[in-house]
Structure 1
Amino acid sequence: MRAIHAIALGALLLCGSVAAAEEKPVRELEPVHVNAMRNPEVRKYKVILAGLDAFDRHRQLAPAADRLRFRLRSQAKDESEQPLAIRLVGDSGFNMPIAIDADMRFVVPRSEAAADAESELELNRKRRSYRTDPEIRTPGLSANQRRLGDLRLECKVTVAMAKAEIPTFWVLTINTILLRTDWCDFFGDPEDFRWEGVSKKAHFPFRSDQPLAGAVLVDANRSAKLEVKGGTFHVPIGNFSWSDDAVIELTFAEPKAPTGTAAETPRTAP
Structure 2
Amino acid sequence: MRATRSLRALAPAIALALAGALQPLPAAAQQGTGGRDALPGVTITYDAVEDPVEKSYRRMVRGMDLFERERARSPEGRLRFKLLPRKRGVDLDRLELLVLGRTVEIPLQVAPDRTFELPRDDKAWAEDAKVTPDRKALTMTWRAEVRTPGLPPGTRRLGDLRLECRVGMEAGLYSNSPSFITRLFSELSTTPAYCGSEGNRYLFFADRPIFGVTLESGPRREMVPAARLWAGGIDESDLARELPYCDCEVLLDRTYFLPLADAGWPDDTRVVFDYMEDRHAPD
Shared fold (TM-score, shorter chain, > 0.5): yes
Report the TM-score, using the length of structure 2 for normalisation. 0.63
**Higher RCO (CA-CA < 8 Å; seq separation 6+):** 2
Structure 2: which amino acid aligns with 1:136?
Answer: V
Residue 50 of structure 2 corresponds to residue 38 of structure 1: yes
Alignment of 1:161-176 (within 5 A): 161-162=171-172
Residue 181 of structure 2 corresponds to residue 149 of structure 1: no
Cα distance in 2 between the residues matched to 1:36 and 1:254? 40
**SS of match in other structure, 2:53:** strand
Deviation of 1:155 (Å):
1.1
Moved more, 35-44 or 221-230: 35-44
Partner of residue 221 from structure 1, selected from 210, 219, 230: 219
| Residue equivalent to 1:95 | 105
Deviation of 1:174 (Å):
5.0
Alignment of 1:241-260 (within 5 A): 241-254=264-277
| Residue equivalent to 1:130 | 140
Residue 74 of structure 2 corresponds to residue 69 of structure 1: no
Instruction: Count how many residue pairs are aligned between Structure 1 and Structure 2.
Output: 198
User: Gapped runs of 5+ residues in structure 1?
Assistant: 1-33, 167-172, 188-200, 257-270
Does the C-alpha gap of structure 1 residues 181 and 116 become closer, same or farther in structure 2, counting only changes over 3 Å? closer
Structure 1: which amino acid aligns with 2:98?
Answer: R
Please give the root-mean-square deviation of Cα atoms over the aligned residues, in Å: 2.9
| Residue equivalent to 2:256 | 233
Q: Deviations over 1:180-236 (max 9, x none)?
A: 98221114xxxxxxxxxxxxx555432112221101000011111103222112211
Deviation of 1:78 (Å):
3.2
Structure 1: which amino acid aligns with 2:140?
Answer: Y
Moved more, 77-86 or 97-106: 77-86
8 Å contact kept, 1:35–1:123? no
Does the C-alpha gap of structure 1 residues 60 and 126 become closer, same or farther in structure 2, counting only changes over 3 Å? same
| Residue equivalent to 2:122 | 112
| Residue equivalent to 2:242 | none
Deviation of 1:52 (Å):
0.9
Percent identity reads: 27
Moved more, 202-211 or 242-251: 202-211
User: Gapped runs of 5+ residues in structure 2?
Assistant: 1-45, 177-186, 231-252
Cα distance in 1 between the residues matched to 2:278 and 2:87? 20
**SS of match in other structure, 1:125:** coil
| Residue equivalent to 1:86 | 97
| Residue equivalent to 2:67 | 55
Structure 1: which amino acid aligns with 2:221?
Answer: S
Structure 2: which amino acid aligns with 1:54?
Answer: L
